[in-house]
């Protein structure tokens, strides 16, 4: 797996039509996920996390902007080409546990099916189920397992055969600390050992802390990013910076004077 197997998304806009008007779920988001790293997408409910993940996984297409997956632009592909690429390269964990597993197949059968789809040897299942403590659950149906076990099985399903990209939507939201820790271990291991790009939407401080890169969304835009623990505000490709709401409140008429000091590369914002 090489560098071209990362995800890049540029200037993503997603508008949903609704009965009572349209919703701008994403307003120009740029993000790149490198192989071998875990990227966390944080932000309040409704900020666009799930939408961004669906676009990055090529489940949906953006209204404008581009997504490249495994070095290929997916926005110009036919739905069929997109599905084929997704099946080979993306492991996806949906937010709702019931969306991840087929009710009538045992966990072992589902993992074998995924191995076959990804054209990897069935022995690829072993390391993943060991790591997630699922080895003695392979004969169980999803309905015979706890919520935590089902979510671990969903992570296992996404990770079998080490796809280049693993995308998980709040996978630890309903898990206890110990299981969250296992899921973090699995994500780090898949990223490091198999050079996968792992992207995970989350509210969980442990998931954010252990990610290589955290991106904070607000109202469909990237407000800031954290690399190695240091948070930086993001300037989008048209030069816009998103201020936190408490700072925005300092400028009630939303008009400011900008002063630039080229000597020190400093910007001063004044009412
Ligand atoms: P998050 O995952 O951060 O909670 P979402 O991506 O689910 O945010 O939603 C972002 C915004 O887009 C919300 O206002 C949500 O109501 C809207 N939205 C998401 N999916 C759809 C859809 N399929 N149809 C209409 N609006 C949607
Ligand atoms: Mg969501």
69 membership: H or E segment, kind and range: strand 64-69
Among 15, 16, 47, 56, the mutation site with the greatest number of ligand 1 atoms within 8 A of its Cβ is 16
- Nearest Cα neighbor of 41 from 260, 256, 223, 235 is 223
pLDDT tens digits along 137-166? 999 999 999 888 898 899 999 999 888 999
- Nearest Cα neighbor of 34 from 239, 195, 258 is 195
Among 48, 171, 202, the mutation site with the greatest number of ligand 1 atoms within 8 A of its Cβ is 48
pLDDT tens digits along 58-93? 999 999 999 998 788 998 899 999 999 898 889 999
Residue nearest to atom 26 of ligand 1 (CA): 16
Q: Is the pLDDT of residue 99 over 80?
A: yes
- Mean pLDDT over the full length of the chain: 91
The residue extents of the domains of the chain are 7-270
* Ligand 1 pocket residues where CB is under 6 Å: 16, 18, 23, 25, 43, 45-51
> What is the mean predicted confidence (pLDDT) over 1-16?
78
- Nearest Cα neighbor of 176 from 195, 194, 152 is 152
Closest atom of ligand 1 relative to the 44 alpha carbon: 3
Q: Is the pLDDT of residue 4 over 60?
A: no
User: Percent helix, strand, coil in the chain (nearest 5)?
Assistant: 35, 30, 35
> What is the mean predicted confidence (pLDDT) over 38-51?
96
Residue nearest to atom 23 of ligand 1 (CA): 16
Rounded distance from Cα 16 to ligand 1 centre (Å): 8
Residue nearest to atom 16 of ligand 1 (CA): 46
Rounded distance from Cα 169 to ligand 2 centre (Å): 7
- List phi, psi (to 5°) of 213: -155, 125
Query: How far is residue 25 from each of residues 11, 13, 63, 218, 268, measured CA to CA in Å?
Result: 13, 8, 10, 10, 30
What CA–CA distance (Å, rounded) separates 84 from 81?
A: 5
Q: Which residues does 81 contact at the CB level (< 8 Å), separation at least 6?
A: none
Q: Which CATH superfamily is domain 7-270 in?
A: P-loop containing nucleotide triphosphate hydrolases (3.40.50.300)
Residue nearest to atom 17 of ligand 1 (CA): 25
pTM (2 decimals)? 0.91
| 37 three-class SS | strand
- Nearest Cα neighbor of 154 from 90, 93, 89 is 93
4-13, 146-155, 210-219, 260-269: the lowest-pLDDT one: 4-13
- Nearest Cα neighbor of 158 from 168, 145, 143, 150 is 168
% of the chain with per-residue pLDDT over 70: 98
> What is the mean predicted confidence (pLDDT) over 47-59?
96
């Amino acid at each position: 797996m090489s560098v071209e197997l990362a995800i890049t998304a540029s200037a993503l806009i997603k508008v949903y039509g609704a009965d009572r008007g349209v919703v701008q779920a994403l307003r120009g988001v740029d993000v790149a996920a490198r192989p071998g790293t875990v990227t966390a997408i944080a932000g309040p409910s409704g900020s666009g996390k799930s939408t961004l993940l669906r676009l990055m996984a090529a489940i949906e297409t953006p209204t404008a902007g581009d997504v490249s997956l495994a070095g290929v632009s997916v926005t110009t592909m036919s739905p069929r080409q997109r599905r084929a690429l997704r099946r080979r390269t993306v492991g996806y964990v949906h937010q709702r546990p019931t969306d991840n597993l087929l009710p009538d197949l045992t966990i072992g059968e589902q993992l074998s099916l995924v191995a076959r789809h990804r054209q990897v040897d069935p022995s690829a299942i072993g390391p993943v189920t060991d790591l997630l403590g699922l080895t003695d659950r392979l004969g169980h149906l999803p309905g015979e397992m706890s919520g935590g076990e089902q979510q671990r099985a969903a992570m296992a399903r996404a990770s079998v055969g080490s796809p280049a990209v693993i995308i998980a939507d709040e996978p630890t939201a309903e898990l206890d600390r110990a299981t969250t820790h296992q899921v973090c271990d699995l994500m780090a291991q898949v990223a490091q050992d198999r050079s996968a790009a792992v992207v995970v939407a989350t509210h969980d401080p442990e998931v954010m802390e252990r990610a290589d890169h955290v991106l904070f969304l607000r109202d469909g835009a990237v407000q800031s990013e954290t690399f190695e623990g240091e948070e930086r505000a993001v300037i989008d490709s048209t030069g816009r910076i998103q201020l936190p709401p408490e700072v925005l409140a300092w400028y009630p008429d939303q008009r400011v004077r900008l002063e630039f000091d080229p000597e020190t590369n400093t910007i001063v914002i004044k009412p």
